[in-house]
Amino acid sequence: MAIRTLDRTLFALALFAFMASDPADATAQDPSDRLRALNRSDRVDVTSIGRSAGGADLLLATVAGPGDGGGRPAVLVLAGEQAAHAIGTDVALAAIERLSDGYGSDPEITSLLDGVTVHFIPLLSPDAERSSRQRPVHETRRNDQPRDDDRDGLVDEDGPDDLNGDGWITMMRIEDATGEYTEDEDEPGLMRIADPARGDSPSWRLLVEGRDDDGDGRFNEDPKGGVDIGANFPRRYPWFESVAGDYPLSAPEARAVAQLLADRDEIGMVVVFGTRDNLLSPWKSNPAGEPGSEGERVREPLKFALAGDAPWYAEIARRYRERTGRSESDTLGVRPEGGDPLSWAYFQMGRWAFGSSVWTPPAAERPDSTTAIPEDREAASDSASRSGSGDSRTSEASDPVAAERRRLRWIRANRPEDFLDWEPVDHPDFEDRRVEVGGFRPLTGWTPPATIRDSIVRKEVEFLIDIAMLLPRIEIVESKAESLGDDTWRVSVRIANTGYLPTRTRLADRLGRPRSVRVDLETNGQELAGGRAVRLLEALPGSGSAEELTWIVVGKGNGRVAVSAGSASAGRDRKEIQLR
């Protein structure tokens, strides 16, 4: 076991700071190369678990203490579901580095990695990330699966175009009284849906910057690529939305993750650094009451967390907010669930699942209630994605106009170059109209200012280490054999969960996966006269909660029995008990 020196750790942190990417900087280093570079450590193992639609490796980095044969409880960390959320990938890479460097030098990390393995998929959509590094810079959520979005028989034939040649794909507005948009009075430059009832006169059409390349009267309706990995998971899957693909898990990237989690019972916790959140605003149980009583089948897929799980979600979210200083109002701009890996990991796979959006433009005002629905669905989802204001299913989303106002206000005060003022262009499809190009600079919606980026990343990494240490841990805390005379004994044990989290979610109890704690009484020539040789336990709450089990055995046999208890995701323990 290599003990890493403090110098080495400092060097690594410095190196990380140097490598941290600006997602809008097309010269930034490929995150997959950054990940492969981390493979040099003894503690990190980087393998490919599949290929993206565009043929890029989907890399899995496993960080483990020595001697892990895959038997330890594990955490799975996911990041990089869309190009604009490069900050999530930064957090994952920094965490890999922190864990691998801390092993042997930092006692907390050493003890963590001796008991828990942490898997990382830092880049869920390598294709989208690669596309975002091409000029002109276009924010895309799509992998490289060719897709005939407009079903005209041609594939990827009408993507955006950089009309003003500034290297960015932003928005364009066309002066047109048949349009639906007006310029916001509170935040000049911001476009929002006009509300004639309030006296707004619609004066602009709003579209993604580009031409009608295929002459069908629609703009940028069939851009390059296909599927948004963050919309391709099965829970609340957005059917028939073109970027969601043809069916859930149709994208090889999402499918590889699903297969990994289905195959690995030891993964008891999934942490997503992405565009969804349940740490600022934790999942709650149904205020109308728990659906289906214990053991009874629920009639519909759950929309709320189970009452038995909600308190842990609430407490961990509280700890997250405390560590990061973020607040529930920072969820403005977080993308609503639907096709996402975060809620899928809990609601369909039964795992403890935590999601951090890492950074959104901080609150400076109260949200209002105006709702914008851009005229073109693709434009809507792209602009919403750019602004970080959720997807096109606005009915469930946080208010996009409020989020965009907040974002623009923050940009004007902190990073004015991230909003490109509207500038006139000549547009071949609108020769007699005023056309202007401008709006939010792509790939900036989730990117914190450079001055605070390292400290934000560090807080997220420390939080990840915190919650990895909260995994359940099964221990046999008491064991005894009480003689009843005549070579008969009552064997009893107390099995405790000395970790913080319950041995599995209540949802997993209903799902049957991941597997529950199994308790075996191993006899050695004795007759088992009472109790079952094999027992499966329902979720055991943490912080030392225990369950007592007893058996009656007859006959001395070789003078001892043994009890083993545990599960793949909660660890195992075994005790021998002398019969005397």
Partner 1 sequence: MTSHLNVSAAAVNFIIGASLLALLPTAAWAQQSPPGAMAGLGAPPDPQVAVSWDRYFDHETLGEIGRRLEEAWPDRCRSSSIGRSVEGRDLWLLTVTDFQAGEADAKPAMWIDGNIHANEVQGSEIALYTAWYLCEMADRVDWIAELLRDRTFYIVPSINPDGRDNFLLEPNTPHSPRSGLAPRDDDGDGLFDEDDFDDLNGDGHITMMRRRSSNGRWITSPEDPRIMVRAHADQPGEWELLGNEGFDNDGDGRVNEDRRGYYDPNRNWPWRWAPAYVQSGSDAFPTSLPETRAVVEFVLAHPNIAAAQTYHNTGGMILRGPGTESDSVQAADLRVMDEIGERGEMILPGYRYISIWEDLYTTWGNELDWFYAGRGIITFSNELWTSFNYFRESPENERWDRADYRFDRYLLFGEAIVPWTPVDHPQYGRIEVGGVKRQYTRAIPGFLLREEAHRNMAFTLYQAGQMPLVRVDSVEVRSLGSGVSEVRALISNRKLAPTRTEQDVVHGISPPDRIRIEGGRVIAGFRIENPLQGIAEEQEHRPERIEVERIDGMGTVAVKWLVRGSGPFTVTVESAKGGKHSLRSP
Distance in angstroms (rounded) separating the CA atoms of residues 545 and 523: 27
What is the footprint of partner 1 within residues 298-317 (CB under 8 A)?
Answer: 298-302
Q: DSSP states of 519-537 as a string?
A: EEEE-SS-EEEES-SEEEE
If binding is defined by CB under 8 A, does position 249 make contact with partner 1? yes
What is the footprint of partner 1 within residues 518-537 (CB under 8 A)?
Answer: 518, 532-534, 536
CA distances 135 to 139, 168, 380, 387, Å, are: 11, 8, 22, 20
Scanning 30-38, 58-66, 149-157, 165-173 for contacts with partner 1 by CB under 8 A, the matching segment is: 149-157
If binding is defined by CB under 8 A, does position 262 make contact with partner 1? yes
Smallest separation, CB 257 to partner 1 (Å): 10
If binding is defined by CB under 8 A, does position 284 make contact with partner 1? no
Cβ-proximal residues to 557 (8 Å cutoff; 6+ apart), any chain: 523, 524, 525, 526, 579
What is the footprint of partner 1 within residues 472-511 (CB under 8 A)?
Answer: 507, 510-511
Pairing of strands 419-425, 117-121: unpaired
Residue count at the site for partner 1 (CB under 8 A)? Answer: 39
Smallest separation, CB 522 to partner 1 (Å): 12
- Copy the structure tokens of residue 476: 């046999």
Scanning 117-125, 128-136, 256-264, 331-339 for contacts with partner 1 by CB under 8 A, the matching segment is: 256-264
Which C-beta is closer to partner 1: that of 262 or that of 413? 262
Q: Are 242 and 391 in contact (CB under 8 A)?
A: no
If binding is defined by CB under 8 A, does position 552 make contact with partner 1? no
If binding is defined by CB under 8 A, does position 297 make contact with partner 1? yes
Cβ-proximal residues to 78 (8 Å cutoff; 6+ apart), any chain: 121, 124, 257, 270, 271, 272, 273, 274, 341
Backbone torsion region of residue 390, taken as left when φ is above 0, otherwise alpha when ψ lies between -120 and 50, otherwise beta: left
Q: Which residue in 239, 433, 483, 525 binds partner 1 (CB under 8 A)?
A: 239
If binding is defined by CB under 8 A, does position 248 make contact with partner 1? yes
Smallest separation, CB 425 to partner 1 (Å): 22
Q: Are 91 and 145 in contact (CB under 8 A)?
A: no
If binding is defined by CB under 8 A, does position 152 make contact with partner 1? yes
Q: In what order do the strands lie in the sheet with 534-537?
A: 534-537, 517-522, 560-567, 571-578
If binding is defined by CB under 8 A, does position 288 make contact with partner 1? no
If binding is defined by CB under 8 A, does position 155 make contact with partner 1? no
What are the phi and psi torsion angles at 515 (to 5°)?
-65, 155
Smallest separation, CB 235 to partner 1 (Å): 9
Smallest separation, CB 551 to partner 1 (Å): 13
The residue whose two tokens read 């703009």 is: 219
Smallest separation, CB 301 to partner 1 (Å): 5
DSSP at 197: G
Scanning 129-137, 182-190, 343-351, 390-398 for contacts with partner 1 by CB under 8 A, the matching segment is: 343-351
Q: DSSP states of 73-134 as a string?
A: -EEEEEE-SSGGGHHHHHHHHHHHHHHHHHTTTSHHHHHHHHH-EEEEE--S-HHHHHHHTS
Which C-beta is closer to partner 1: that of 429 or that of 466? 429
Smallest separation, CB 261 to partner 1 (Å): 8
If binding is defined by CB under 8 A, does position 417 make contact with partner 1? no
Backbone torsion region of residue 210, taken as left when φ is above 0, otherwise alpha when ψ lies between -120 and 50, otherwise beta: left
If binding is defined by CB under 8 A, does position 45 make contact with partner 1? no
Q: Are 131 and 142 in contact (CB under 8 A)?
A: yes
If binding is defined by CB under 8 A, does position 151 make contact with partner 1? yes
Distance in angstroms (rounded) separating the CA atoms of residues 506 and 516: 11
If binding is defined by CB under 8 A, does position 452 make contact with partner 1? no
Smallest separation, CB 122 to partner 1 (Å): 22
The residue whose two tokens read 């209903």 is: 510
Smallest separation, CB 268 to partner 1 (Å): 15
Sign of the CA dihedral 125, 127, 133, 139?
Answer: negative
Smallest separation, CB 31 to partner 1 (Å): 27
Smallest separation, CB 348 to partner 1 (Å): 5
Scanning 128-136, 182-190, 236-244, 321-329 for contacts with partner 1 by CB under 8 A, the matching segment is: 236-244
Closest residue by Cα to residue 209 from 176, 256, 162: 162
If binding is defined by CB under 8 A, does position 247 make contact with partner 1? yes
Q: Which residue in 480, 513, 556, 575 binds partner 1 (CB under 8 A)?
A: 513
If binding is defined by CB under 8 A, does position 515 make contact with partner 1? yes
Residue 387: HSE in the Cβ half-sphere, 13 Å Cα cutoff: 34
Residues that bind partner 1 (CB under 8 A): 151-153, 215-217, 234, 237, 239-240, 246-249, 258-259, 262, 297-302, 347-350, 507, 510-513, 515-516, 518, 532-534, 536
